[in-house]
Amino acid sequence: MRFKRLLMAARWVAALIPAAVAWTSSVAAVQGAVHVPPAPAPKVAPVVKPAAPKPAVTAPVASPSRLSTKPEIMASPAPVTPPVRPAQLASISSVQAFCDQAVKRMPNVTMSMCARAQLSSNGGRSVWGRPFYQRDVVSPNPTLKVLVIGGIHGDELSSSALVLHWIQQAMQTPSNVHWRFVPLINPDGLLLDSPTRTNARGVDLNRNFPTPNWDKEAAYYWRDRTKNDPRRYPGIKPLSEPESRWIHDEMERWKPNLIVSVHAPYGVLDFDGPAVAPQRLGRLYLDQVGIFPGSLGNFGGVHKRVPVVTIELPSAIRTPQEPEIRQMWLDLLRWMGERLGAG
């Protein structure tokens, strides 16, 4: 009986073993699905086709005859003077008002001296409309016409003062000359509280005359030699300024035999032109400093063949003493008599 029961238990266990194995396999399969994910499929980079090259574009090349060799003048620097005010124009609309202003600005100039000069308007006007004043001193039998100009650079105050002093010398010293004195050609620069070399548009008037090759040489000199110095800006074109234009037109109208242009402060005597240069005026000795594009000496002396004496006083804010002023005047007369035929 016992043996029969053991046999039946063994058969029952044998029947359970396949079911247990099947159950264990299913659990392992489920655990593998959760904890061991299948390796991802490797990514394949897309194939990018190279873009077709664009045809090169070649700019047309101008023929040599059409290539410009003329450099452009650079843009003007900002004007260094303030905008004009009506009161400024009203303040210099008469000779009396001009003398009031001159006495305040020019060294060694008195109201009585300016009044004795007997200046009158010559019709020319500056950028801001200020009139130019002149005085003619004419001998009974003139053989020469001489134009004397001061104040081309507004911060050279002594130059205008010297011209006013020389008006007195011309009235006191006989000579066969028709003198035309213009003490101040740049009133917009000189008559400011802080005078400037340039005019109201920021142009250096002594670089604005139409010398040969001005378009090329003035641009090069300003850009490369002065490093765009605003005090020496030559303007957008020759004679762009009414002040330089007046001198140019006066040379055409009046045809002077000699131009004397007074500057400061280098303390030398310069000369351009066909005649033999004066060796000295007073304590100023000849030292020809060179030729600048657009300068009056270059235009008048070299290009137009009108002798140009350029006086560089030693100081821009002080005139020489009275004996020196007179000696310079006498030396100028002596040279004119010897070299230009002024008796």
> pLDDT tens string for the chain (343 positions)?
444 454 454 554 444 444 444 444 443 433 443 343 444 444 444 444 444 444 433 333 333 333 333 444 556 665 554 445 545 454 456 999 999 999 999 999 999 999 999 999 999 999 999 999 999 999 999 999 999 999 999 999 999 999 999 999 999 998 999 999 999 999 999 999 999 999 999 999 999 999 999 999 999 999 999 999 999 999 999 999 999 999 999 999 999 999 999 999 999 999 999 999 999 999 999 998 889 999 999 999 999 999 999 999 999 999 999 999 999 999 999 999 999 988 6
Return d(Cα 101, Cα 109) in angstroms, integer: 11
Would you say 170 and 327 are in contact if contact means Cβ atoms under 8 Å apart? no
Give bridge partners of residue 118 from the DSSP assignment: none
Rg (C-alpha) for the chain, rounded Å, is 45
**How many residues can be counted in the chain?**
343
pLDDT value of residue 48: 41
| Count of CA atoms in the C-beta half-sphere (13 A) of 337 | 10
Reduced to 3 states (helix: H, G, I; strand: E, B; else coil), residue 317 is coil
Return d(Cα 198, Cα 186) in angstroms, integer: 8
**DSSP collapsed to 3 states, 189-243:** HHCCCCCCCCCCCCCCHHHCCCCCCHHHHHHHHHHHHCCCCHHHCCCCCCCCCHH
Return d(Cα 312, Cα 88) in angstroms, integer: 29
pTM of this structure: 0.77
What DSSP assignment string belongs to 55-77?
Answer: PP--PPPPPGGG----PPPPPPP
Count Cβ neighbours within 10 Å for each residue of 158-179 and write b for 16 or more, e otherwise. bbbbbbbbbbbbbeeeebebbb
Would you say 210 and 204 are in contact if contact means Cβ atoms under 8 Å apart? no
Backbone angles phi, psi at 333, to 5 degrees: -65, -40
Measured CA to CA in angstroms, residue 336 lies from 4, 254, 270, 325 at distances of 166, 19, 15, 17
